């Protein structure tokens, strides 16, 4: 199957933080061709081992946050590239996320320090994308002029929204909006949320850290991508927009335009026909 991705990614420290604890990766797991930071654009061709796109937002004192996010992504790519292709794609990505979690947990224990990171990863094999999440970095799909959030924030605020205690439009105003319910390497185990998306020609996948999603609305994300001359320009515009709106946190965006031997997207095809949740994160109950 001939599938290729046009990828543009950018990360920025923002106006307040003294270091950037965000990280991203786009990698051809067959050839090893990979992105670099802070800005990157390129074309990735789908091979037998698949493609990986991922964003990670680190947390912890000293250098711990950037160590955690970098370790998450390097471990994830190494795990997926080294696994036999005979395993199912869902097993591959869940196993790789769990291995990355243990890598951070063991490093934190060895150093006697607390550190962690979010991860949202898209693993592409065949004509499908497997979207895995721990934390609150997001993955969106822009298809046929519409934007859909494929992930669900694993956060305290989202817990309140789900319980009906807070309206979704008020969620970003709460002081605890940055509190997440689990993180890579922060507790002994993780629960990996997973969805499967059947790709369509001209789909655009957008991954970002909360430094962008808390500053730029879903509709604004869509509008920038759809009106920009190319993905590199869109990535720059989105980061600049978040910066101008305060830039209190690091911000990262990764855009991937899908092309190749795939069916065309149509407005008549409901997203539910092409996207299915395979594993959910079971959040604790609000009392």
CB crowding 192-207: b at 16 or more within 10 Å, else e? bbbbbbbbbeebbbbb
- Cα 281 to its chain centre, rounded Å, is 16
- Please state the pTM of the whole predicted model: 0.95
The Cα 93–Cα 155 span in angstroms is 22
* Residue 251: Cβ within 10 Å count: 31
Q: What is the mean pLDDT of the chain?
A: 92
The Cα 241–Cα 108 span in angstroms is 35
Its CATH architecture, for the domain 3-277, is 4-Layer Sandwich (3.60)
> pLDDT tens-digit profile of 35-73?
999 999 999 999 999 999 999 999 865 568 999 999 999
Domain boundaries, the chain: 3-277
Residue pair 250/20 in contact (Cβ under 8 Å)? The answer is: yes
Residue pair 141/275 in contact (Cβ under 8 Å)? The answer is: yes
Check whether 284 has a pLDDT greater than 80: no
User: What is the pLDDT at residue 286?
Assistant: 56
> pLDDT tens-digit profile of 72-113?
999 999 999 997 767 899 999 999 999 999 999 999 888 888
Residue positions counted in the chain: 287
Q: DSSP assignment, residue 31?
A: T
């Amino acid at each position: 199957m001939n599938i290729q991705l046009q990828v543009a990614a950018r990360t920025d420290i923002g106006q307040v933080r003294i270091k950037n604890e965000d990280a991203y990766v786009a990698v051809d797991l067959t050839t090893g061709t990979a992105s670099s930071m802070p800005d990157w654009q390129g074309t990735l061709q789908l091979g037998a081992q698949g493609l990986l796109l991922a964003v990670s937002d680190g947390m912890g004192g000293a250098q711990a946050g950037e160590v955690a996010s970098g370790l998450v992504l390097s471990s994830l790519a190494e795990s997926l590239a080294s696994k036999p292709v005979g395993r199912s794609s869902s097993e591959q990505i869940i196993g790789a996320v769990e291995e990355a979690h243990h890598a951070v947990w063991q490093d934190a224990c060895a150093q006697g320090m607390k550190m962690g990171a979010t991860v949202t990863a898209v693993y592409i094999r065949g004509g499908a994308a497997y979207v895995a999440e721990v934390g609150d970095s997001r993955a969106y799909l822009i298809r046929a002029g519409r934007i859909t959030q494929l992930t669900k924030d694993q956060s305290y605020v989202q817990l309140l929204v789900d319980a009906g205690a807070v309206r979704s439009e008020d969620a970003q105003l709460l002081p605890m909006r940055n509190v997440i319910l689990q993180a890579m390497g922060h507790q002994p185990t993780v629960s990996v949320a997973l969805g499967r998306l059947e790709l369509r020609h001209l789909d655009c996948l957008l991954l970002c850290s909360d430094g962008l999603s808390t500053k730029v609305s879903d509709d604004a994300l869509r509008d920038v991508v759809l009106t920009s001359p190319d993905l590199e320009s869109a990535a720059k515009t989105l980061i600049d927009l978040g910066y101008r709106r305060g830039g209190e946190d690091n911000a990262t965006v990764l855009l991937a335009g899908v092309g190749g031997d795939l069916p065309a997207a149509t407005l008549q095809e409901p997203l539910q026909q092409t996207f299915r949740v395979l594993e959910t994160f079971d959040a604790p109950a609000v009392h």
